[in-house]
Amino acid sequence: MKNWMQLLLLFTSISATSALLASGGMEEGGGAMPVVSNAKWAAECSSCHMLYHPGLLPERSWRKMMLGLDKHFGENASLDAATQKEITAFLALNSADKQDNRRAKRINQSIPANSTPLRITETRYFTDKHDEVSANTFKRKSIGSASNCAACHKNAEKGNFSESQIKIPR
């Protein structure tokens, strides 16, 4: 009887651990966001800047952004109607408020319901996570600005912002 109980306990803990590992919950802040892909998104959204994972902003933010591409952070990034529509649908489907990923959920939770940020760097999640990084560090030539995630998070384009992968360049 005692052996049976021990076995059950062992099984429960193994499955609980693997579930945690699978969800990325063992690491602080959650593991990598799920791999998502869309050829047009990958090509169009990375020609001027790094490719931002859709899980970094809620659906309303992406929709607003995609409707203002003619004035995209001061630049004209207009797309033809079909491409614009396809990318919007892809971003919406994989946005922070549609993700089961812990980091995406936290980003979403850090944004007040009445605000629609277009800059990831303006979300409270971002500012809290980067409060120890000085403005001067972000301005380093090797980084450029806070919007260049990939300068320090080498797998940022894959949605991986794990603490263990951070390396701040000189």
Residue numbers at the binding site for another protein (CB under 8 A)? 46-50, 70, 74-78, 80, 144-145, 147-148
Task: Specify the residue, 47 or 164, whose C-beta has the smaller distance to another protein.
Answer: 47
How many whole angstroms separate alpha carbon 60 and alpha carbon 10? 44
Task: Specify the residue, 46 or 115, whose C-beta has the smaller distance to another protein.
Answer: 46
Structure tokens, 125? 């999640």
Task: Specify the residue, 12 or 78, whose C-beta has the smaller distance to another protein.
Answer: 78
**What is the C-alpha R_g of the chain?**
19
How many whole angstroms separate alpha carbon 6 and alpha carbon 13? 11
CB of 130 to another protein, least distance (A): 18
CB of 25 to another protein, least distance (A): 33
CB of 137 to another protein, least distance (A): 15
CB of 40 to another protein, least distance (A): 12
Structure tokens, 33? 């966001």
Q: How far is CA 77 from CA 15, 67, 109, 118, 128, in A?
A: 47, 11, 29, 15, 30
